[in-house]
Every structure is written in C-alpha cells, then in structure tokens.
Chains A and B, each alone.
Chain A
C-alpha cells in the first residue's frame, strides 16, 4: 500500500515537472516572439529614418538646382569652414541668393539679397545631417556629398541642363 502511494506520488511529481517544463517553454517562446517582433519593428523604424535622411537632403538640393538651372546661377562658395551651394535668382532687377550649407548638425538654407553679410547660424534648419560637401568638378558637374546622422554617406552628381544647352548650341 505504501509502495503504491509512493509510485503515485512520483508519477504526480513527474506530471508536474512535465507540465511546468511545457509552461516554461511556452513562456520562453512567447517572449522570444515578442522580442523578435520588437527587434524587427526597431530595425524597420531605423531603416525608414535612415532612408529618409539619406534621400531627403539629396532630393532637396537636386530639386533646388533644377528650379534654378540657368547659366551662371549655381555657384559653390565657402561659408566659414563649410562649402555652401549658392543659387542666384534675378527678381525684377534685384539679385537674390539662396545659400544651402551644413552647420552644427543641420542642413540650413538662408535667402538673402546678394551682398548681404551672413553668419552660418542665420540659416533656417531643414534636416539633420552630419556634413554636406558640394563641389563643382572641372567637367561642369556638381558633386554633392551628404553624411547623415548615422554616418552614412550618400553622393549625387548633377549635370546642369543650362550648361548643356550652352555647350551644345
């Protein structure tokens, strides 16, 4: 009788161990699924932000250049230690300039009448970037290099339609 009781007790213990093991496995797997989901969500969010910060400054500058693609209206100047893209526009006989540059982790733009003195902090913040380099190459192409906040560098070369027209006439 005592032996039978002992057997039943050990069976019950085994059952409990199996039950708790399954329960533990269930909790562990549930946690793993949540963690995988969270990681996936985090990566997607990060990449979306990264894609945005890679594409937007380049697309913004390219659009600004296309809007001002006239002979002699696109220049590269220096503002402090930074290179700045300068887009000239003639409105009713007065020449205005849009300066696009990077300063203190932000791509900035300032619109002024030509000849007005500006300081780097005057520009309106557009988007966060680590660095922005613009360079006019010898063959008349504009090289833009943007480093986003993650340190990813993206480059775009732009050919001017206006120069092209002038060259081909």
Chain B
C-alpha cells in the first residue's frame, strides 16, 4: 500500500517537472519577445525624436541659407533636448556640409546623421541628406 502511495507522489512530481520544463521553454520564448518589444519601443521613440530634431536642423539651415562648412556635432540629452556639452549628451547629431561652386551660385550639400553618443559608427537612428542651391546674387 505504502509503495503504491509513493509511486503516486513520484508520478505527480514527474508530471510537475514536465510541466515546468514546457513552461520554462515557453517563458524563455516569451521573455525574448518582451525584450525585443522593449528594444523596438525604445528604437521607435528615439526615431520619432531624432526625425523631428533632424528636420528642425535642416529647416534652420535652409532658412538661414548659411552654414559653417565642415563637420560639427550637436548634442542631445536622453529626452532629445538640446544640450551644449558632450558630457551632458546621450545622442549626437553630426552635421556635415560642403559647398560646391557652380556657374551661377553655390550648392550646399548637407548630411545630418543622428545616433547614440559613442555608437556613431555603428548605427544611425535617423539620417537625412539635402542640397540647397544659393544663387550668386544673394547677399550682394
């Protein structure tokens, strides 16, 4: 009788182990889905803000029609608010520009690349290139 009772417990124990095994497999899958969803959430949030920041800088450059030629960085904090120092920055937007002289004016060629600070070479969050034609008689 006693032997029979022990075997029942063992069967339940075995059943529980099997259930836990399948549960562990499902949990691993679910957790990896949650982690990926979280990464996508952050990427989407950063893309939205980076897109607005890049558009803002592009409009300012086009509106003013003048720009310091070369490469210069603009820094942003975690909430995509502009900051002056690199130390306070979490994100960076590299503004690279060059001017091409044409017969009747100048062609301003600008590249804007927003990325996470320290990961500039790895992956851009948002990127935009534009050209702005400035006729020669402007400002004369």
Contact = CB atoms under 8 A, between A and B. Distances in A.
Contacts of B34: 36-37, 40
Interface in A134-164: 139-141, 152-160, 164
Interface string A28-49: 0110010011001001100110
Interface string B38-57: 10010011001101100110
Contacts of A15: 9, 13
B13 A19 contact: yes
A44 B59 CA distance: 31
B45 A51 contact: yes
A6 interface: no
A159 B9 contact: no
Q: Kindly state the interface size class of chain B when it binds its partner.
A: 35 or more
A118 interface: no
A47 B49 contact: no
Interface string B50-89: 0110011001101111000000000000011100000000
Contacts of A43: 38, 41
B52 A37 contact: no
Given A8-B2, A47-B44, A167-B138, A40 B38 contact: yes
B9 A19 contact: yes
A44 to B, nearest CB: 5
A45 B138 CA distance: 49
A28 B2 CA distance: 32
A152 B81 CA distance: 10
B48 A156 contact: no
At the interface, is chain B mostly helix, strand, loop or mixed?
helix
A58 interface: yes
A168 B81 contact: no
A79 B135 CA distance: 39
Contact of B6 (A12, A29, A155): A12
Given A40-B38, A44-B41, A47-B44, A159 B62 contact: yes
Nearest to B51: A55
A71 interface: no
A54 interface: yes
Interface of A: 8, 12, 15-16, 18-19, 22-23, 26, 29-30, 33, 36-37, 40, 43-44, 47-48, 50-51, 54-55, 58, 139-141, 152-160, 164, 167-168
Given A152-B79, A157-B63, 9 more contacts: A19-B12, A19-B16, A36-B34, A44-B41, A54-B49, A55-B52, A157-B59, A167-B65, A168-B134
17 contacts: A8-B2, A19-B9, A29-B23, A33-B27, A33-B30, A36-B31, A43-B38, A43-B41, A44-B37, A44-B38, A47-B41, A141-B59, A156-B55, A159-B60, A164-B62, A164-B65, A167-B65
